[in-house]
Structures are given as structure tokens and as C-alpha cells.
Amino acid sequence: MGNALPFHDLLEAADHLGLDEQETLIEILQRRLAERRRAEIVEEVRAARREFSEQGSQPSTPEKLMGEILS
């Protein structure tokens, strides 16, 4: 992203769009953010499964977890 626009310039450009275009831009950005968050969650789940399969973590009960958190 070497030729990315500065944030202020993006806001200025958005101000020049019509209302419908601004709403469409917001919808597109919200969709893209949701996709990125989903991708992050998928990677976190993969990492957790890898760790679990490599015996890096052990199953636990909620009571044991709370005990560790509160201690």
C-alpha cells in the first residue's frame, strides 16, 4: 500500500460523494471489515487447534479457568 492516500484526503474525497455514494461506501467498508474480522477469527481458531493438537494446551473446566483467573 505504498501509494495509499492519507486519511484526511480520504475523508475529503468522501465529502465530495453524493449521499447515496457515501452510504454505498459505508456498506462496502462495513462488509470488508466484517470479512477481515472473520479471517482473523479463522486464523485464531486454526492456531488454537494446532496448539491443542500439539499438546500445547489441555482441556479445562470453567471452574478451573475462573480459579486461575482469580488467583
Task: Evaluate whether residue 47 is within a structural domain.
Answer: yes
Task: Evaluate whether residue 31 is within a structural domain.
Answer: yes
Cell 462488509 -> residue: 31
What sign does the CA torsion over 48, 53, 55, 57 have? positive
pTM over 0.75: no
Q: Is the pLDDT assigned to residue 37 strictly greater than 80?
A: yes
CB 1 within 8 A of CB 9: no
Report d(CA 42, CA 67) in Å as an integer: 28
pLDDT-derived band of residue 26, with 50, 70 and 90 as boundaries? very high
Domain range for residue 38?
Answer: 21-54
Task: Evaluate whether residue 8 is within a structural domain.
Answer: no
How many domains does the chain contain in total?
1
Task: Evaluate whether residue 48 is within a structural domain.
Answer: yes
CA count, 13 A, side-chain hemisphere, 70: 6
